[in-house]
Structure 1
């Protein structure tokens, strides 16, 4: 009776590869969930940079390990079930390709990244389910159903490459906007309306959303200015309004393309309060009492930086930053602070909420 693994060094190599693939994939899933799920964000903020780097590193090594047998001389005594080779190589390659598009933000258009994000997760879940079933069959000694895909075969480089290329093709297909027809792009709120984008996550660092009453809301604009202001929502909306369509990119990988924002450009506040010559930075405060962010005056005066009160022609919902949020399209989403209730002109840059926990102040991508 032929064995699954060859004797000697080949046996040790394939046993190691088998164990490593499972362990590394579990580590990938764990780090990926930490990056994606807001519950973990709040509790592991100080370590998110580590988890991000670890996720990228594990993904690269996982991909290389999938194809490591290609560089070795494959013996004819390595009969193994076809599906045991196919599933990790086919799905793993597609997962790595979609993940690569989320990692190298500047290499791929926003629409591709937007389509790739849900499939990166979906394909990972599928491979995770496969590993669980595979482990169950192995642990219980359950026999596979005898079919074409479960028969044993001698591994060949040509077969590895075919499966890898097919995984690349599937991964590429999932990165097209067409693939969004088969997924939901994110959490759907009962308050959402047709034509309004839904983000994959609505993040809060306090585990709840601030209760902002519009009739009591005031936007305080102070600091190193000639004329301090305390503006009602209606007074703010009476300023010249800017509309724009921009992509939104989160540091955790997901993106949403062609979001329509409507709001007040920072230059309108500058004209109103007349900052002093010492004012070279602007600090933004959130009504949640915890979140802060800072931009240089030069950054804030970019043509697409807004204090927005509408998204996709609809008033912001509370989870989107109601009634006012900052929008900085060329920077990662953590710079676009929500529930803004104070804008302070200052001579120094403060360390914002995320910067205090290891994220860069220069959040361009």
Structure 2
């Protein structure tokens, strides 16, 4: 999810409702720059701290900070629960013959696909050559037995707020994954883990974090950011008024 934080939430206040001043903003930016300059060990500690802070940041200011690997931390809710091996479930339902619930171990047993593409955010930042690995979404759809009436797929997330959608043809592309790994590591919570959607050829807001539900539908249902003005068909360089180079 890489839309701008704070579109519908309070701006310019901290968690206690008090104003956030220019000094704090500059201090946060300086801390981020210092972490990067200090080297990888301090940067990893800084990234961890930033990820935790971003989950409880109603201002969106943490999204301004230079996070590790070029990524930014975004959430559309005040906090997101953590899921693990025991508590995580991914459901596939809707217009299918065989509704299914997957655990992490189930997903790991399925054939894994690794793809490497640039990641492009609609707000302008780009991270080149980012590996994602997981199960092709088409594999899960085929296992569920999609109804002939199906036209689209809707995605929901365990943050309780975010949603996304793709047409059925888009969902079946070979570069659309239910991702379990990113940058050759298990997908961490701050990057949408343990499981997220990855839609390589589209702006990153289509790659829903904290994925918990895949529902096959008879029409495209606009997702969280589409309901706030972003394009539904978010092809990189061909939507949202941007001309970025394609990512896939």
Q: CA deviation at 1:257?
A: 0.5
What are the ranges of 5 or more consecutive residues in structure 1 without an aligned counterpart?
Answer: 1-35, 46-124, 126-180
| Aligned CA distance change for structure 1 residues 255 and 225 (closer, same or farther; 3 Å) | same
Q: CA deviation at 1:202?
A: 1.3
Aligned pair 1:201/2:72, yes or no?
yes
After TM superposition, list the pairs within 5 Å mapping 1:272-311 onto structure 2.
Answer: 272-311=143-182
Picking from 88, 92, 101, the partner of 1:217 is: 88
Q: Distance in 2 between matches of 1:188 and 1:332?
A: 26
What are the ranges of 5 or more consecutive residues in structure 2 without an aligned counterpart?
Answer: 12-28, 30-35, 49-67, 237-248
Which structure's residues are more often strand, by fraction? 2
Deviations 1:196-253 (A, max 9, x none): x624311100022222232021110000001010111101111110011111000100
DSSP-derived class of the 2:69 partner = coil
Q: CA deviation at 1:336?
A: 0.4
Q: Distance in 2 between matches of 1:207 and 1:318?
A: 15
Aligned pair 1:236/2:107, yes or no?
yes
DSSP-derived class of the 1:43 partner = coil
Picking from 138, 147, 171, the partner of 1:267 is: 138
| Aligned CA distance change for structure 1 residues 44 and 199 (closer, same or farther; 3 Å) | farther
After TM superposition, list the pairs within 5 Å mapping 1:184-195 onto structure 2.
Answer: 188-190=43-45
Which structure's residues are more often helix, by fraction? 1
For the pair shown, the structure with the greater C-alpha radius of gyration is 1
Q: Distance in 2 between matches of 1:38 and 1:207?
A: 14
Aligned pair 1:43/2:9, yes or no?
yes
Aligned residues: 193
The runs of at least 4 aligned residues of structure 1 exceeding 3 Å deviation read 36-42, 181-184
1:341 corresponding residue in structure 2: 212
8 Å CA contact retained: 1:283, 1:346: yes
1:327 corresponding residue in structure 2: 198
Bigger relative contact order, structure 1 or 2, given CA contacts below 8 A and separation 6+?
Answer: 2
Task: Please report the TM-score for the alignment, with normalisation by the length of structure 1.
Answer: 0.49
